[in-house]
A and B are shown apart, each in its own frame.
Chain A
Amino acid sequence: MDKHMNQATPAAQAGRTRALRLAGIALWLLGLLIPQLLSPAWITIGGIFAIYSIVALSQDIVLGRAGMYDMGHAVYFGIGAYVSAILSLSFNWPILWTIPVAIVLAAALGAILSAPIVKLRGDYLLVVTIGFNAIFVLAMQNNLFGLTGGADGLFGISGPSLFGHMFGTQSDLFYLNWVVLAVVLWLMNNLDRSSLGRTFRYIKHDELAATTLGVNARNYKVAAFALSAGLAGLAGTLFAMQLSAVSPGSFRFTDSVVLFAIVLVGGQASVPGVLLGTAMMFVVPQIFTEFAQYRYLAFGVAMILVMILRPQGIWPARKGVI
């Protein structure tokens, strides 16, 4: 099968990419109709899907593109959510203004935490990132600086407002999340076509070869973490708005595991794959609400089957961009 993929002419590949992109845009536009067509429950599910898609895509930058086993990604998602919640509740910032702060602080934390550890081999790095996650949850539970609200978290975050108008309904939030998702998808598309994204992949495939070509692997790995954490932080703000509450329970180690698994099951470095994985985890269970408690069971079985039968993921990344 790989042979056939390789033998596709550049023109045919480009045509397929274009078709795929058009299909993606069509699906996104169709998604805009969700608030008109579906029940309130589904509007919320759509918004949650958009938020977790952004987090999973950001996880994929570190894991799928740069090839580092980050199993503490919920930390950056959580930092974004907490920063927005704290600025909004304790300092009365309008929530939309907190977005840049959430992104920058999450990215900075990603850079600071990753800088000493990116030299570690995959499995060792994975264990360290699990440690980060454990510490993060513990710090939030213990009401760090008296700001994080302890085990119950923070409540009553008000919705976004622009020019004095509140945009607090589930439909409003859905549109906001949906538009931000589009922006993130556009960024991911650009990333894959840029020197930055290519360099991540060079490092993933052969770090030694990359360094002998002049790549400062350490800097790029830290950059991958920072970029990835920044996007996760952005999703964190959206999450805080969506639920109007944040608590340590949303950013545990198991949440990081789910993000990690979404990327592996969906397809590393594959945008459609990661979106599909997110949908399997957060949307499909809602269709079978009476079985919702079996969500992890179903996803667990899916993980096992995919890893055995299709280790490259359900929708693997296309080999070669240019």
Chain B
Amino acid sequence: MLLWRMRQSIRMAGMAWPALVLVLAVLLASCSPAMAGETRKGSDFRLKGIDGETYRLSDYTGKKVVVLSFWNISCKPCRKEMPKLQEIYEALGEKGLEILSINTDGPSELSGVKPLVRRQGYDYPVLLDREQKVVKLYNPRGILPYTALIDLEGKVVFTHLGYNSGDEIELKKRILELLPGEGGEAEEPAAVEGEDDRG
């Protein structure tokens, strides 16, 4: 109960709290790999897809380059981005790229997700993050769309907030840099277990 009551007890007048939190943020950021010019590992997660399969990010480590794309139905820029991701997937899906499209709509809106995906013919897996667990890990403010590119070692090497025309060009360039045989320095990936089941 101590933690629960902390919220009330630390509300104190006369302190420059945002400044203190900012200082804490800088200190924490200074510990992060990004601060040291490195990349960080993508937080692992497990989500169910609209195809009924369960997807875990760590299953792709060492096997595929992964794009995480967060979206919801009412996000207009997201809808513009989806066909562009499909084009990238068609071009690079068999060369070691996986796109995990993560829908963040709540349970009340769930009925609309699968019809949209099936009708418009998106082949990449669409995962349901209806309790907002994963989007909070990668993009805590929840601003959509949000994209994270994860290399074969499972490290987040590129992130992007929002979508504007042309953003897919930079994303594709970054993916190609990571794919073996496409200009990337990575070694040939191993096959993902059970990937045939994932449609």
Determine if chain A interacts with chain B: no
